Amino acid sequence: MNTIAENVAATSGQAQHKAHDLAHRPRYFVSAVLAGAYIGIGEVLLLVAVSPFVAKGSAAVRLLEGAVFPVALTIVMFAGAQLFTSNVMVMLIGALSGRTGVRDLASSWVLSLAGNLAGAFAFGAMVHASGVTSSPSARAMLAEMVHGKTALSGGQLFWRAVLCNMLVCLAVWMFTRARGDAAKIFVLWLPVAVFVAVGFEHCVANMAVFSLAILDGSASFGDLFRNLMFTVPGNVVGGGLLVGAVYWFAGGARRGVEHSPPHNSASTN
């Protein structure tokens, strides 16, 4: 397992790779589209697999949701794609370390967020057309999910988003530290399972949920954009400040020091 200082160097190396990839913005955007679709896979799996248990009033629903959704981040990390919520941490560590600049950070965040939104909707449209979420139980669960999110106040959405991306970025941070695929999968699964089971707010997952609900007629674009107004800043605080900045400081808070990232670090998560 990498030390904290080694992991800061590895993550800064990832940020450099991302900054280099930004020279080809269409490719970067397409990679972000893929990430939005991969997160959508987790939401569709959750609806199809868990909705029958919701319909029966099972007390295990929350645990089941937490058990199945982490497949989404696992696909993102192993396939390689530009996910906004992890880019928040990676690019901030790169900027704080002096390996990348503020312009790289801003470009990465904007492009990945836009691409994730496009990917979530494109995947949602294909799923809607396929009819796999058209069962009464899946439609009822989807409507209940978006109703629950629209009923939350702005402050509740913000703080749930802070806590969500703290967990997601902890998962990505531990993924980089771990050695071996089995260990990487395990450390990805646990924090994501917690955020889903507890009910925290992930802006890209919400893009996927609301895209399906909009196409099904149970939500509007206004509902989605209201949610993103609070969850995007909350995800930035949770992943960027509470994980990225804190571990950069804990790892020695050095700027401009050249390190080669360990061989097991991912460059496009």
Taking 90 as the threshold, does the pLDDT of residue 232 lie above it? yes
Which residue would you say has higher pLDDT here, 105 or 258?
105
With b for 16 or more beta-carbon neighbours within 10 A and e for fewer, the 35-48 pattern comes to bbbbbbbbbbebbb
Taking 50 as the threshold, does the pLDDT of residue 128 lie above it? yes
Q: What is the pLDDT of residue 269?
A: 60
Distance CA 23, CA 151 (A): 41
Which CATH fold would you assign to the domain 4-250? Glycerol uptake facilitator protein (1.20.1080)
First to last CA, the chain: 19
What share of the chain has pLDDT > 90, as a percent?
88
CB–CB of 245/8 below 8 Å?
A: no
Q: How confident is the model over 120-128, as a mean pLDDT?
A: 97
Q: Give me 139's structure tokens.
A: 């439609």
CB–CB of 57/134 below 8 Å?
A: no
CA angle at residue 51 from 47 to 55, to 5 degrees? 160
